[in-house]
Structures are given as structure tokens and as C-alpha cells.
């Protein structure tokens, strides 16, 4: 059993959590904390700082680009630190940093301060890197893809529950207090981390276990693939509110519709991730990317918000099978390797929103068509690259 409950000492029960299960719980709570503001950041910027919605969408894309780029730069370092000083210390450091970030955003007085705190978050935002490192060190190699698929499902579940909760909280207590609630939730995660027994750091004398340049070369195909795939996964995030508004959703209903679109896309991704991680192979990954490209392009031609949400569900489900197979393929099961792979995720997450908002520009036709066409093209490029680096190689290995 993963967990045996001791009625006399319920707190001690947490210390007997299976490490991978504990990582799922922590990842879920962290994702909720991160994404409480996920459904309303453009609306917050627009209402608090007197920006138009299209301008606020641009600022959201810019701040996401900066945060994710810095996360991408720091992820390998955080992974290396997990190997050297231990995951618990790194985890506590990242938690403390995010408390500062969300508290700062709650008291921000202009949009540049939001950008600053999002940039600062980049330095403390490697929680998933630490979580992946914990899972990679705790499960056998043959179970890694499955374990990571559940980890990503927990991450997505937290991310999809949070925008709805955040939207309700924002409607009741306001945007700023909702950001403050994120900081409080990070504080509440501290005791859970403190009582866990996490994998010890790698001995400095264990040269055979150290991450080498040859290990990085092996990871390059997966790194490039993850960047391309995550550009297509993340590009829509800052433009959802604007696009729904362009489809006729009134401004007073945008928060609700944005939350629904974000949640259902996340539900599809979370449910499909474990299922497709079992069924998908190196041979099928290109087909998933092609399917995503078709659905992305179709979104440019929808006429109402229901059609838009339906396609967001399809895209989320189709894209879900690719990341776990790439992350669990050749990670080396060490923090540094997972750091480089997670860095690729962050680079894709950085590039997607900024590319989308740059192409969208002022939002006048046919700008949105160009945006969707560009993202569909990137998904097709990802499919070709996956075929060349994974499918062909898998066929050769079978021969």
C-alpha cells in the first residue's frame, strides 16, 4: 500500500507516503498555487492598470515569455543542485521564492512590477524540475514514463482546477486578494515538504553517476522535440480572453468563459496523459503532432465560443501523449538530466505565448489566422522532427 493511516498520529502518516505519491500531492498543490491567476491575468492588468484588453494580452504574453525563459535557464542548475545538495533543500528554496513573488504581485501598482515579479518567479519557478527529479530517482527505469505521466496529470489537474477557483475568488474577493491566496497556499505546502524523507544528494565522489556531455548529446532530440511541442501547447494561454471576446462573448462574461475554456482543455490533457503514455510509442508521436496541427488550424475558422472550447478539448487530448514519452525516454534518471529536459519545456512555454501575441498584434483580421497558421506549422515541424529522430530510430533498433 502507498499509505497506511495511523489514527493516533495522522501527521506521521505523511512520512510514510511513497515518494512518487508524495510528489503527486505536492505537485498538485503547487500547480493550484501557480494557476489561481491563470484565468484572469489579462483581465487583472486591463482593469487595474487602465490597459485595453489587447494591450493586456500583450503584456501577459511578454511576462510569460520572460518568466519561462528564466525558468528554462535555471532548470538545469536546479536539477544539478538536486543532485548535489538534495531535493528537499531545493524544494524549500523554490517554495520560499514563490511566496515572495505572489505577495509582490498582490501589491503591485503598475504593469512593469508584474513583469518584474514574473521575471523573479523564473528564478524560483523550477518546482516541476525538482518534482521530476524526485520521481526519476524513486521509480525503476521501466516505470518512468508511466510515473511521469501521472506527475504531469497531477500538474495539469492542479492547473485546471485552479483557474476556476481563482475566477470565483477574484469575483468575490478581487484579483489582488486572490494572488495573496496563492502565496498563502505556498506557505501551507511547507509542512508537507518538511516531514517528507526525500532522496539524498549524490555523493561528490560518485563520478560514475555524474552528468556528462555525452549524456546531454543523447538528450538533444528530446530537448528539441519538447521545445517545439510546448510552443504549440502554450501559445494560446494569453490570447483566450481576447479570442472569446472576438467571438462575441461580452466583457462581463469573459472571466467565466475563459475559466471554462482553460479548465476543459486541462481536463482533456490530464485525462489523456496517462492513457496515451501507455498507448503512444515513438512511432505514433508524429501522428499525435499532426493531429494537433489540424485541430489548431481549425480553431481559426470557428464562429462561436462553443466551437472554440470543443477544439480546445480536442487539442488538449491529442497533445497529452507526447511530453511523458519524451521526458521519460532518456532522462538519465538524475536531477541534471531532468533539468535539461524541463528546460526545454520552459523554452517552449516561453516562446509559444510571445510568438502568438506578436503575430496577433493589434488583433485586426487576418492577424488571428496568421497566428493559428504559424502554430499549426510548428506542430507539423515537430511531427517531422519526431519522425526523423524517433520513429526512424525505433524502426532501425527493431531491425
pLDDT confidence band for 380 (50 / 70 / 90): very high
Q: Is residue 8 part of a domain?
A: no
pLDDT score, position 3: 40
Domain count, the chain: 1
Report the pLDDT value the prediction gives residue 37, as an integer from 0 to 100.
80
Residue pLDDT, tens place only, 336-371 = 888 899 899 988 988 898 899 899 998 899 999 999
Which is nearest to 246 in space by CA: 293, 308, 298? 308
138-195: pLDDT as tens digits: 777 778 888 888 888 888 888 777 877 887 888 889 889 999 999 999 999 988 888 7
| pLDDT at residue number 214 | 77
Nearest to 126 by CA among 62, 222, 217, 30: 30
- Residue 332: the pLDDT is 52
Q: Which residue has the cell 528537499?
A: 88
In a domain, 205, yes or no: no
CATH value at residue 152: 1.20.1250.20
Condensed to tens digits (0 to 9), the pLDDT of residues 102-140 reads 999 999 999 999 999 999 988 876 788 888 888 877 777
Looking at mean pLDDT, say which of 76-85, 113-122, 193-202 comes out highest.
113-122
Instruction: Give the containing element (helix H, strand E) for 233.
Output: helix 213-234
Residue 282 lies in a domain: yes
Residue 275's pLDDT is 87
Burial 366-390 (b: 16+ CB within 10 A, else e): eebeebbebbbebbbebbebbbebb
How far apart CA 86 and CA 80 sit, in angstroms, is: 9
pLDDT for 360 equals 92
| pLDDT tens digit sequence for 306-334 | 999 999 999 999 999 899 888 876 555 56
Local structure of residue 330 (DSSP, 8 states): S
Cβ atoms within 10 Å, residue 113: 14
pLDDT, greater one: 71 or 334 = 71
Q: Kindly report which listed range (17-21, 77-81, 392-396) carries the lowest average pLDDT score.
A: 392-396
**Residue 125: what pLDDT?**
62
Residue 1 counted as domain residue:
no
Is residue 136 assigned to a domain? yes
Any domain includes 203: no
Q: Is it the case that residue 7 has pLDDT exceeding 50? A: no
What's the pLDDT score for residue 312?
95
Q: Pick the more confident residue, 99 or 279.
A: 99
Domain that holds residue 87: 13-198+214-394
Residue 88 confidence (pLDDT): 85
Residue 42 lies in a domain: yes
CA–CA separation, 265 vs 310, rounded Å? 9
The residue among 262 and 111 whose pLDDT is bigger is 111
Q: What is the pLDDT of residue 398?
A: 52
In a domain, 208, yes or no: no
What mean pLDDT is reported for the chain? 84
pLDDT at 207 over 60: no
Amino acid at each position: 500500500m502507498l499509505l497506511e493511516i495511523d489514527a493516533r498520529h495522522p501527521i506521521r502518516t505523511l512520512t510514510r507516503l511513497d515518494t512518487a505519491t508524495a510528489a503527486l500531492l505536492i505537485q498538485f498543490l503547487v500547480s493550484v498555487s501557480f494557476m489561481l491567476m491563470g484565468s484572469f491575468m489579462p483581465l487583472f492588468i486591463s482593469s487595474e492598470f487602465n490597459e485595453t484588453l489587447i494591450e493586456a494580452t500583450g503584456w501577459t504574453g511578454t511576462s510569460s515569455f520572460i518568466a519561462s525563459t528564466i525558468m528554462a535557464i535555471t532548470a538545469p542548475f536546479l536539477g544539478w543542485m538536486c543532485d548535489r545538495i538534495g531535493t528537499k533543500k531545493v524544494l524549500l528554496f523554490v517554495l520560499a521564492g514563490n511566496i515572495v513573488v505572489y505577495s509582490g504581485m498582490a501589491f503591485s501598482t503598475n504593469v512593469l512590477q508584474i513583469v518584474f515579479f514574473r521575471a523573479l518567479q523564473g528564478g524560483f519557478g523550477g518546482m516541476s524540475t525538482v518534482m521530476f527529479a524526485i520521481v526519476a530517482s524513486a521509480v525503476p527505469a521501466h516505470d518512468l514514463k508511466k510515473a511521469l505521466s501521472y506527475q504531469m496529470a497531477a500538474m495539469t489537474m492542479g492547473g485546471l482546477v485552479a483557474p476556476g477557483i481563482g475566477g470565483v475568488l477574484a469575483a468575490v474577493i478581487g484579483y489582488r486578494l486572490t494572488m495573496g491566496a496563492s502565496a498563502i497556499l505556498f506557505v501551507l505546502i511547507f509542512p508537507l515538504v518538511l516531514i517528507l524523507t526525500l532522496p539524498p544528494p549524490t555523493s561528490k565522489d560518485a563520478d560514475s553517476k555524474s552528468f556528462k556531455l555525452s549524456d546531454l548529446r543523447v538528450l538533444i532530440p528530446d530537448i528539441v522535440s519538447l521545445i517545439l511541442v510546448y510552443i504549440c501547447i502554450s501559445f494560446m494561454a494569453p490570447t483566450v480572453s481576447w479570442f472569446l471576446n472576438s467571438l462575441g462573448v461580452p466583457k462581463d462574461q469573459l472571466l467565466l468563459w475563459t475559466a471554462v475554456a482553460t479548465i476543459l482543455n486541462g481536463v482533456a490533457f490530464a485525462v489523456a496523459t496517462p492513457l496515451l503514455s501507455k498507448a503512444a510509442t515513438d512511432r505514433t508521436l508524429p501522428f499525435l503532432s499532426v493531429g494537433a496541427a489540424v485541430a489548431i488550424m481549425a480553431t481559426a475558422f470557428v464562429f462561436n465560443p462553443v466551437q472554440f472550447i470543443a477544439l480546445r478539448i480536442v487539442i488538449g487530448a491529442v497533445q497529452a501523449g507526447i511530453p511523458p514519452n519524451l521526458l521519460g525516454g532518456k532522462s538519465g534518471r538524475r536531477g541534471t538530466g531532468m533539468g535539461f529536459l524541463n528546460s526545454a519545456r520552459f523554452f517552449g512555454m516561453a516562446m509559444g505565448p510571445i510568438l502568438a501575441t506578436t503575430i496577433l498584434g493589434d488583433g485586426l483580421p487576418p492577424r488571428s489566422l496568421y497566428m493559428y497558421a504559424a502554430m499549426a506549422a510548428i506542430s507539423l515541424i515537430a511531427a517531422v522532427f519526431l519522425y526523423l529522430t524517433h520513429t526512424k530510430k525505433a524502426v532501425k533498433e527493431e531491425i
